Amino acid sequence: MLARSGRTSFLLASARSWTTLLVGTRLVRPLRRLTASVRRPVDQQGRVPVGARDEIGYLAVALNDLFDRRETMEAQRKALVSDLAHELRTPLTNIRGSIEAAQDGMTPTDAQLLEVLFEETSLLQRVVDDLRDLAAADTGNLRLHPEYVYLNDVLTQVADAHRGIAESQHVRLSTDFTVDPQLSVDPVRLRQVVGNLVSNAIRHTGENGVITLRTAATHDQFTIEVADTGTGIAPADLQRIFDRFWRADSSRSRTTGGSGLGLAIARKLIEAHDGRITATSRLGVGSTFTITLPRARQAPT
């Protein structure tokens, strides 16, 4: 009887040991696959298979999500480096070519040459300044200096500053203010954003076109609109207009002006004001850029 009981206990213990071993093996095997995947060199890492919907499966999903985000960031980094090289190459080439021509005696060292060099170095300075603003925004170090200002005063300053160039291109720049709230904003940064939108509208609006600056209000926000009757933006391009260094011109010509960073910076600046900036457009009809700012920024009454 005792021998039989001991044998039974031994068999039960063995069964438990085998069960524990099998369960442990099933748990350890996928963990080893995950560990092996993570330990590979960065350029050899890839997505890992997702097994059962348990803790290990959730870990695999999380690792795949990190992998996808890293791939996206790497693609963005490569695109940024390529675009930045493109933006800097042209003005640097122009500066070098002008200086070499002057050294060889092919171009006189006169006021015209100095003007060309000044324009190209100014473009380089704008690109560097824009990149600095974007870097500050990305790291959360973009400084704002808010104060209570009347919204229409800021927009009127923008309109007055751009009306001359608009009229020189036979474009009418008008305002349509239905509200005039006093808001806590950085007036310099807000003028920068709206000024960029107005400048873009002028460049893409033909003769006898109209650009309108509007203000409006809803129960929870204030809106600023810059609407034009210009060439419009293709639907496929509309999704990318706030991307860095992106231009609708496939030739990437600089004749359209700017560094290609203006709208990306505008979005960051408005987001720093707890707002949003969006765009709608129809080819051949025109575009409307809308800035929304929360009522929470209104001065207390």
Q: What is the pLDDT of residues 175-202, one digit of tens each?
A: 999 999 999 999 999 999 999 999 999 9
Return d(Cα 91, Cα 80) in angstroms, integer.
Answer: 18
Global pTM reads 0.68
Q: Are 295 and 221 in contact (CB under 8 A)?
A: yes
Q: Which residues have CB under 8 Å from 241's CB, separation 6+? A: 233, 248, 263, 279
Q: Which residues have CB under 8 Å from 127's CB, separation 6+? A: 84, 87, 88, 259, 261
Tokens of 289: 């850029």
Q: Domain 82-138 class?
A: mainly alpha
pLDDT at 126: 77
* pLDDT-based confidence at residue 252 (cuts at 50, 70, 90): very low
Q: Average pLDDT for residues 53-78, to the nearest whole number? A: 72
Q: Are 127 and 89 in contact (CB under 8 A)?
A: no
Q: Domain 147-297 class?
A: alpha beta
pLDDT in tens, 150-181: 999 999 999 999 999 999 999 999 999 999 99
Q: In a 10 Å sphere around its CB, with 0-12 CB exposed, 13-18 middle and 19+ buried, how is residue 211 labelled? A: buried
pLDDT at 9: 60
Q: Average pLDDT for residues 235-245, to the nearest whole number? A: 84
Average confidence score pLDDT of the chain: 81
Domain(s) of CATH 1.10.287.130: residues in the chain: 82-138
pLDDT in tens, 79-100: 667 767 766 777 788 888 888 8
Of the candidates 209, 260, 251, 252, the residue with the CA atom closest to the CA atom of residue 230: 209
* pLDDT-based confidence at residue 255 (cuts at 50, 70, 90): very low
pLDDT at 71 exceeding the cut of 50: yes
Domain(s) of CATH 3.30.565.10: residues in the chain: 147-297
